[in-house]
A and B are shown apart, each in its own frame.
Chain A
Amino acid sequence: MKLTTKITVTMVIIVLFAVVVTTFLNYSKYQATLSDLVRSRFVVVALDLKHTIESSVNLGMALEETENIQDVIDRLRGKHEQIRSLAVFRVSAGKGAAVFDTERAGVGRSVPDHWMHALDRSEDGVWHAVDADAFVVGVSVVNSFDKLVAGVALRYAKAYEQDKVAAMFRRLSAAGAVVFAVVAGAAFAGVFYFFRPISASFARMTHSLQQLFSEEEPPLTEANAATEEEARFVRFQRKTHAVIEHLLEADEEMHNAEREG
C-alpha cells in the first residue's frame, strides 16, 4: 500500500468514526428530547383525567360510581389517535385493579406489577413505564385526605415516537453518509496534495539507496537534493558508502595480511 493511500485510509477511518459517533450522539439527544416532549403532552392528558376523578372522589363518590369516567376515557382515547388505552385502577394494599378501561376486557384485571412498582417509586405522583407495545404514563389519584386511592395509566403507541425517531435516524444517517463522502473525497485530495511530495521523496531516497550496492553513481546527490531531508539523506548515503569503502579496504588489508602471513 502506498503511503498516500495509507494516510488516506487512516483519515477516512477517523472521519468515519467521528461521523458515526456524532450522528449516534445527536440521534440519542433527539430521541431523549422527543420522548420527554411526547411524554409531557400525555402527562397533561392524564393529569386532566386525574382532576376529573379527584373532583368526583372528593364529592364523596366511590370510584366505581363515577360512571362518567368511562365516557371521558373513551372520548380521550378517540381524540388522541396515539393513545392505545386509558385505564383507571383502584389501588389497595399495594395492588392495582382496573375499574375503568378503554379496552373493556381489561376491567377487573390486575394492573401489571411494573406499573405498581413505578407508581410506588414516584415521588411527585407522576410515573412512567414501558410495556411491550406502548409507553405508559401514569398519575396517582388521591382523595381529600391526600391518600392514594387510584391510579390513571395512559398507554400511548411506541410506534408514534419510534417512527419519528426512525425517520430522524434515516435523515441523520443520510446526512452523515453525504458528509462522510464529501469529507472522504476532500481527505483524498488533501492527502494527495500534502503528502505526495513526501512519499515521492521517500521513493527517490529508496531508489538511490538501492543503487548504493551497484557500481553506478547514486541518483540522489547533493546537487539534486530537493529538500533538507534529501540533503541529509545524501550525507547518510555518503557516510554509508564511505564506511563500505572503508570496510572493503580493511578487508583487502586483512586479505593481504592473510596472504602474506
Chain B
Amino acid sequence: MAEATHRSSLIGRIRARLFGLAIVLLLVALTAISLYSLSQFEHDLVPEMDRKAAAVGESLAADIVRAVDYGVPPNALKGMGPFLAAGMEGHPEIRYLAVCDGEGAVLYHAGAAVDGVLAHFRAVAAGGAAADGRSVRVDVFYDTAVPITARAGAVGTLHVGVDQKFVQKTLEDIVLDILIVLLVSLLVTFELLLFLITFNISGPIETVTKLMTRVENGDFRHAMESRSKDEVGQFIAAFNDAVGLVHDLYRGMVRRADAYRQATGDELRTARRRMVAALRQLHDRFAFADAPKPAVYRESTLVDVRTPLFIFVFAEELSRSFFPIYVRDLFAPVPYLTPEAVIGLPIALFMLFVAIGTPFAGAWTDRYGNRPVFLWGAGLAVVGFLGTALAFNLYDLMAWRVLTAVGYAMATMACQGYIVAITTAENRARGMAVFVGAIMVAAICGTSIGGVLAERLGFRATFFLSAALALVAAAFVHQVFRRRESGPEAEQPKVTTREVLILLRNPRFAVMMLFGAVPAKLILTGFLFYLTPLFLHELGNSQSDIGRGMMVYFAIMVFGNPLCARLADRFRVRAPLVTAGGVLAGGGALVVLLWHDTAAVIGGIAALGLGHSLSTAPLLAMVPVVCEREVRILGQTMVLGVFRILERIGSVAGPFVTAALAGLFGFAEAMAGLGAIVLGSTVVFTLYFLIAGSAPPRPATRPAG
C-alpha cells in the first residue's frame, strides 16, 4: 500500500511530466510540419490540376480548330453538345465545358449550368482576365480558359470548369491523410517514448523508490543494478553502498557466530548463545539476504513485453496491405483450385498454422520459458520473411508463410505467457489489455506504413525490412526478458478434443460459435485481409491508399473495442451488442455492391471495425454465461481457450470462402456475399438467443422436505 502511494506521488509526477511534455512537444512539432506540408501541397498541386484541365481543353480545342480550318463557321458546328459531353467523360472533376465566341457569348456548352460564370467569360473575351491555362476561381468553379485559334485567327475560347469542391476534396483528402500520418507518427513515437522513458528514467526511479520503502520496513535483502552516471544512478550507487554496508556487517556477524558453531565448553557455548540471541534479535526486526551479496532486484514490467511485441507484430503487419497482390504476382496454378482460391491459399495457410501452432507454442512456453520460445519464434519468422522476400513462386511462398505463421504463434504466445507470469489475478486483465493494445497499435501503424514502404521500396524490400524488425524484436527480448519467467501460476491449461466435445454439446455454445464468432473471423480475413487489397488495387488505389484504408479497421477497433467492452459490462447487454455488431459488419460489406467504389470499400471497412468493436468483447463475455455448467467442470480459462481456438476456423475458412465467391462473381460481389453470410448468421444467432436465452435453464430445485 505504501509502495503504491509512493509510486503515485513521485513516479506519477515524473511520468505525467515526461509524457505531458513529450506529447505537447510532439503535437506542436507534428502539427507545424503537417500544416506547412498542406500549404506547400496546395501551392504545388493546384497548378498541376490546372494543367490537366488545360490539357483536356487543348485536346478539344484542337478538334474545333480542325473543323473551323475546314471552313465550318464556329457558330455552325454540328454535334457540339455530345462532343463536349464526351470530352467530359472520364474526368469527374470537370463540371462544364463551354465554347465562347470572341465576345464571350456561349456558343456550345455541356455539363453544369454556367449562368454564374458568364461575366467571367465576357471578361476573358475582352482581355480582362487571363486565358493562359491558369485557373480562376469563379462562382463554385475553377475556370480554365483555353484560346481557340484557327489558321484564320482567334475563334473564341474554350472554358473548362473544374468543380471547386473537387479541388477542395482533393486537398481535404490530403488533410485526412496528413491527419492519419500524424496519428501513425504519434503512435509509433509513443511506443518508442514508452520504452525509452521506462527503461532509462522512470523504471530505475520507480525501483529504487520501491526498495527504499522496503528498507523503511526493515528489508535489506536487495540492491539494484545501475550503470547510469546520472543523479538517479549516483543515488542508486549510494543506496547500494548503504545496503551493502549493512549486509557486510550482518554477514560478518553470521560468520563469527558460525565459527562458534562447533564450540565446546560452557563459556564458549554461552558466548555462542549470546551471539545467536543478538542475531535473532536482528532477524526479528530486519530481513537480510542469505547470500554473500544482496540480491540484485530487477522488476519486470509490462513495457518489457509491449515493445518487442509491438515491433514483432508491426513487422508482420507491414505486408498486410499488399500481400494478396504480391501473391498474385507469384501466381502459379494449383490443381483443382481457381486462381482466386490460389491467391487466398497463403493467407488461409498462415491463419491455419497460427491456429495450429498456438496451443503447441503455449505448451513450449510452459516447458522452456518465454524467452527461448520468443527467440525461436522470431528466428523462424525472420527466415519466413526472408524466404517470402526471395520467393520464386507460390509453392515456396506458402512454405515460407507457414514458417512465419509458426514463428508468429510462438512469439505471441511467449509474450502472453510473460504477461501471465508477471501479473497476478488482480492485474492480469490490465496485462492482457497491454497485449491486445500493442497488437492493435502495431496493426494500425504497420498496415499504413507498410503500404507507403511497399510503394517506395517494393514488396520484396518490405519483407526484408520485416525480417530486420523481427530480429530487433528478438534482440529486445534477449536483453529484457528474464531467463526463466514462468512459475506455477503461468501454467496454461491444455486443450484436448475432450474439452472441445464437451463444449460443442452445449447448443448455445455451438450456435454462438457457428453464427457469431466464426462468421466474425470469416469476414475479417475474407473481407479485410483478402479482398480489400485486391479490390482497392483494382480500383486504382496506390499501396499507400490501401494501407491507410485498411488501417481504418484497426483504428476504430483500438478505440471502440474497450469502450464497447465497458458498455457491455456496465449495462449487462451482450447478445444485443453482438447482433448490432453483426448487422453493422454484414451491412457494411453488403453496401459495397451498390457503389463499387473506393469510398464504399472504406465505408465497409469502417462498418466492419465498428461492428467488431461492438461485438468482440460482448461475445467473449457471453462465453461464461452460456457455458455456466462447462465453466464449473473445465474452468473458465479452458472454456475461453477452446472458444479462441474454434473461432479461428473462421479465419482459416475466410480466404477460401471469399476466393470461391470472388471467382464466381467478382470482388465487390464477394464482399457483399460475405456481408450476406454475416447478416444471415446474425439473424440465426439473434433468433436463437431471443428464444433460448443466454443462460442455460437451471435444474429445477426440489421443494424442501
* Interface set of A (CB-CB < 8 Å, partner B): 1-3, 5-7, 10-11, 13-15, 17-19, 21-26, 28-30, 32-34, 36-38, 40-42, 44-45, 47-48, 79, 123, 164, 168, 171-172, 175-176, 179-180, 183, 186-187, 190-191, 194-195, 198-200, 202-203, 205-206, 209-210, 212-213, 228-229, 232-233, 235-236, 239-240, 243-244, 246-248, 250-251, 253-254, 256-258, 260-261
Contacts and interface: CB of A to CB of B under 8 A. Distances in A.
A18 B212 contact: no
Interface in B323-369: none
Contacts of A186: 25, 28
B49 to A, nearest CB: 6
B212 A232 contact: yes
Interface residues of B, number: 102
A34 B44 CA distance: 9
Q: Is the interface of B mostly helix, strand, loop or mixed?
A: helix
B253 A22 contact: no
A203 B278 CA distance: 36
Nearest to B37: A26
A75 B25 CA distance: 55
B40 A172 contact: yes
Contact of B246 (A1, A2, A198, A240): A240
Given A18-B26, A235-B216, A229 B544 contact: no
Given A25-B452, A251-B249, A258-B256, A246 B235 contact: no
Contacts of A213: 241-242, 245
Nearest to B270: A261
12 contacts: A11-B22, A17-B192, A18-B29, A19-B33, A30-B41, A37-B49, A44-B55, A172-B37, A175-B33, A203-B235, A206-B238, A232-B6
Interface in B248-302: 249-250, 252-253, 256-257, 260, 263, 267-268, 270-272, 274-275, 278-279, 281-282, 285-286
Contacts of B10: 228-229
Contacts of B51: 41
Contact of B231 (A23, A45, A206): A206
B55 A45 contact: yes
Q: Is the interface of A mostly helix, strand, loop or mixed?
A: helix
Interface string B220-233: 10000000111110
B395 interface: no
Interface in B37-79: 37, 40-41, 44-45, 48-49, 51-52, 55-56, 58-59, 62
A175 B52 contact: no
A44 B218 contact: no
A40 B538 CA distance: 17
A228 B260 CA distance: 46
B49 A202 contact: no
A179 B29 contact: yes
B237 to A, nearest CB: 8
A179 B32 CA distance: 7
B109 to A, nearest CB: 20
Contact of B29 (A47, A183, A191): A183
User: Interface centre among A2, A235, A253, by most B CB within 10 Å?
Assistant: A253
Nearest to B234: A206
Contacts of B36: 172, 175, 179
B692 interface: no
A261 B30 contact: no
B267 A171 contact: no
B40 A168 contact: yes
B253 A18 contact: no
Interface stretch (B178-186, B399-407, B568-576): B178-186
B14 interface: yes
Given A26-B181, A176-B33, A232-B216, A18 B544 contact: no
B48 A212 contact: no
B28 A183 contact: yes
B234 A203 contact: yes
Contacts of B17: 194-195
Interface string B169-188: 01000100110011011101
Given A26-B34, A34-B48, A44-B59, 7 more contacts: A7-B201, A19-B29, A164-B44, A203-B234, A206-B237, A210-B238, A210-B241
Nearest to A238: B216
B21 interface: yes
Contact of B33 (A17, A22, A229): A22
Contact of B56 (A32, A44, A236, A254): A44
A221 to B, nearest CB: 16
A183 B33 CA distance: 12
Contacts of B184: 21, 25
Contacts of B237: 206
Interface string B541-556: 0101100000000000
A261 B257 CA distance: 12
Contact of B182 (A22, A243, A253): A22
Contact of A15 (B25, B178, B218, B242): B25
A14 B192 contact: yes
Given A37-B45, A175-B36, A254 B249 contact: no
Given A22-B181, A236-B216, A180 B29 contact: yes
B213 interface: yes
A161 B21 CA distance: 40
Closest 3 interchain pairs by CB?
Answer: A261-B271, A202-B231, A257-B274
Given A45-B55, A187-B21, A25 B181 contact: yes
Nearest to B57: A44
B193 interface: yes
A18 B249 contact: no
A240 B230 contact: no
B242 A212 contact: yes
A244 B245 contact: yes
A202 B235 contact: yes
B215 interface: yes
Contact of B40 (A6, A123, A171): A171
Interface string B1-15: 000001001100010
Contacts of A239: 215-216, 218
B212 A44 contact: no
Interface in B504-559: 538, 542, 544-545
B456 interface: yes
A209 B34 CA distance: 49
Interface string B182-209: 1011101100110011001100000001
Contacts of B676: none
